[in-house]
C-alpha cells in the first residue's frame, strides 16, 4: 500500500520541530499590563471578579511596577480609582488626583524601562459613570466632553505620561487632543486611540475594579458588537486624525476586526484582552475545566496571530516571567 507523499505531520513530530516551525511568537516586550491605583488605599485590595488582580496602594504599586520592569514587558496602562466623584469628573484634571499622582510615581520609578500609559476617559471620575459630560437631556455631550479631554491630556502630559489612551469613543477626540497637545508644546506625547471599542458584555469585572457608578449603558458611543465595517471605519478616521497607535477592544471576540485593522493600518495596531476575557479563563481554570497556563498562552498567541503588535492583558507579567524561564 502506498501512503501519502505529502505529510504535514513531519513538521509537528517533535518539540524541536514544533518550536522551529512556529509561525507566531508572542514576546514579553509586546505585552502591556493594565493597573488600578486606588486613592486612600493603605494596601493592595483584591478584586473578586478578577483573581490575581488588585487595586493598588501607592506602595504596592511601586513594587508591582518594578516587578513588571524586571519581567521585561513593554509598558503599563494606568487607571485611577478616586475616592470622590462628581458630574464633571473633576478629579481627572486635578494634578493631585490619583491617576496623575500614580503617573508621576510610575515615571519616576520605571519611566526609563517601561512605556507609561494613562487612561484618558472620564468614567472612573464621574458620579454617573459615563465617559463624558452629560447634557440637559442626560445624554453624553460629545463636544463638551472633548473640552474636558483636552484639559485631561495636558494634565496627564504634565504628569509625565508617555502615551495617552483615548478610550472614550467621542467623535473627533484624536484630532482635538493632538491639536491641543501640539499647541501647548507637547508634540512629544503619543496618542493611543481605542478606535474599535465595542459595547461589550465582557467589561463587567473592570467596572468592579474601578468601582464604576455607571447609570444606563454606553451603546450610544461604543460600537455595536454586530458591526465589522464600522470598526474599520473608526480605525481609518483615527489614523487620519493623527493617532500614533490604534486599538481593538475587546480582543478575543473581535479577532476579525483586529485582522482587518492590521491588514490596512499604517500605524501599530494593539488589542486589549479585557477583564471579562481574563476572568473567563481564571474561572474555568479554577473549576479544573481547562489548563490555565496553556489557555493564557493560547489566547495571547491568537491575538498576536490575528495581527496585534502589542496586547494589553492582566496576565502580562505572569506570562512574561514564565516565558523568560521557558
Catalytic residue (choose from 61, 218, 249, 303): 249
Reduce the DSSP state of residue 168 to 3 states and report it.
coil
Q: Which helix (H) or strand (E) holds 176?
A: helix 173-183
Q: Please report the beta strands in the chain, taking only residues with DSSP state E, as ranges in sequence order.
A: 31-38, 45-46, 54-56, 75-81, 115-120, 163-166, 190-197, 245-249, 269-272, 310-312
Active site residue 197: yes
> Measured between alpha carbons, how far apart are the two ends of the chain, in Å?
42
- The DSSP secondary-structure symbol of 86 reads B
Q: Which residues contact 258 (CB under 8 A, 6 or more apart)?
A: 248, 251, 269, 271, 303, 306, 307, 308
Can you tell me the distance from the alpha carbon of 154 to that of 167, in angstroms, rounded to the nearest whole number?
A: 16
Is there a contact between 76 and 65 (Cβ–Cβ < 8 Å)? yes
Can you tell me the distance from the alpha carbon of 28 to that of 259, in angstroms, rounded to the nearest whole number?
A: 21
Active site residue 249: yes
Catalytic residue (choose from 30, 85, 162, 197): 197
> How many CB atoms are located within 10 Å of the residue 283 CB?
13
Q: Which residues contact 138 (CB under 8 A, 6 or more apart)?
A: none
Can you tell me the distance from the alpha carbon of 276 to that of 283, in angstroms, rounded to the nearest whole number?
A: 10
> How many CB atoms are located within 10 Å of the residue 280 CB?
16
User: Which amino acids are annotated catalytic?
Assistant: 197, 249
Amino acid at each position: 500500500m502506498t501512503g501519502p507523499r505529502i505529510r504535514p505531520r513531519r513538521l509537528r513530530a517533535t518539540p524541536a520541530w514544533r518550536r522551529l516551525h512556529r509561525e507566531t511568537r508572542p514576546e514579553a516586550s509586546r505585552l502591556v499590563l493594565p493597573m488600578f491605583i486606588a486613592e486612600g488605599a493603605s494596601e493592595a485590595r483584591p478584586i473578586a471578579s478578577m483573581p490575581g488582580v488588585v487595586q493598588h496602594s501607592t506602595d504596592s504599586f511601586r513594587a508591582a511596577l518594578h516587578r513588571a520592569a524586571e519581567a521585561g514587558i513593554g509598558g503599563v496602562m494606568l487607571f485611577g480609582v478616586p475616592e470622590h466623584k462628581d458630574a464633571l469628573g473633576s478629579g481627572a484634571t486635578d494634578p493631585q488626583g490619583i491617576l496623575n499622582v500614580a503617573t508621576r510615581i510610575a515615571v519616576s520609578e520605571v519611566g526609563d524601562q517601561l512605556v507609561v500609559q494613562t487612561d484618558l476617559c472620564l468614567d472612573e471620575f464621574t458620579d454617573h459613570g459615563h465617559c463624558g459630560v452629560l447634557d440637559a437631556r442626560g445624554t453624553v455631550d460629545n463636544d463638551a466632553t472633548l473640552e474636558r479631554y483636552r484639559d485631561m491630556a495636558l494634565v496627564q502630559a504634565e504628569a509625565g505620561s508617555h502615551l495617552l489612551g483615548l478610550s472614550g469613543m467621542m467623535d473627533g477626540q484624536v484630532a482635538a487632543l493632538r491639536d491641543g497637545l501640539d499647541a501647548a508644546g507637547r508634540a512629544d506625547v503619543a496618542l493611543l486611540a481605542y478606535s474599535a471599542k465595542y459595547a461589550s458584555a465582557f467589561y463587567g469585572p473592570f467596572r468592579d475594579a474601578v468601582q464604576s457608578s455607571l447609570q444606563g449603558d454606553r451603546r450610544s458611543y461604543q460600537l455595536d458588537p454586530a458591526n465589522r465595517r464600522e470598526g474599520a471605519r473608526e480605525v481609518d478616521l483615527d489614523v487620519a486624525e493623527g493617532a500614533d497607535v490604534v486599538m481593538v477592544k475587546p480582543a478575543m471576540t473581535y479577532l476579525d476586526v483586529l485582522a482587518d485593522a492590521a491588514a490596512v493600518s499604517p500605524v501599530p495596531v494593539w488589542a486589549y484582552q479585557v477583564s471579562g476575557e481574563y476572568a473567563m479563563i481564571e474561572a474555568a481554570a479554577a473549576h479544573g475545566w481547562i489548563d490555565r497556563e496553556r489557555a493564557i498562552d493560547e489566547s495571547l498567541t491568537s491575538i498576536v496571530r490575528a495581527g496585534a503588535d502589542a496586547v494589553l492583558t492582566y496576565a502580562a507579567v505572569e506570562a512574561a516571567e514564565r516565558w523568560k524561564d521557558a
